[in-house]
Amino acid sequence: MKKRYLYSCLLAGATLIASCTKNFDAINTPANRTTDALFVPDFLMSQAQFQFSQTGYDQLLFQSMWIQGLSSTYDYYYNGDKYVLRGSGTGYYNRTWNRGYGALTLVDEMKSLVAGNSARTNLNNCGTILRVLFMQRITDLYGDAPYSQEGQAKAGITTPVFDKQQAIYTAMLTQLDAATTALDASKDKPGADLFYGGDIAKWKRLGYSLML
CB 193 within 8 A of CB 169: no
Query: What's the pLDDT band for 201 if we cut at 50, 70, 90?
Result: very high
Report pLDDT for 72. 67
Burial class (CB in 10 A: 0-12, 13-18, 19+), 14: exposed
- Beta strand extents in 30-165 (DSSP E only): none
* C-alpha–C-alpha distance, residues 125 and 208, integer Å: 13
Total residue count of the chain as it appears in this document: 212
Rg (CA), the chain: 25
Q: Which residues does 22 contact at the CB level (< 8 Å), separation at least 6?
A: none
Query: What's the pLDDT band for 205 if we cut at 50, 70, 90?
Result: very high
Q: Does the structure show a pLDDT above 60 at 147? A: yes
Domains of the chain: 40-210 (1.25.40.390)
**196-206 b/e (C-beta count within 10 Å ≥ 16 → b):** bebebeebbeb
pTM over 0.75: yes
Query: What's the pLDDT band for 86 if we cut at 50, 70, 90?
Result: low
pLDDT digits (tens, 9 = 90+) for 126-139: 999 999 999 999 99
Average pLDDT of every residue of the chain: 83
Query: What's the pLDDT band for 19 if we cut at 50, 70, 90?
Result: low
Q: Does the structure show a pLDDT above 80 at 82? A: no
pLDDT digits (tens, 9 = 90+) for 100-113: 999 999 999 999 99
CB 40 within 8 A of CB 109: no
At position 2, the amino acid (one-letter code) is K
Q: Does the structure show a pLDDT above 60 at 13? A: no
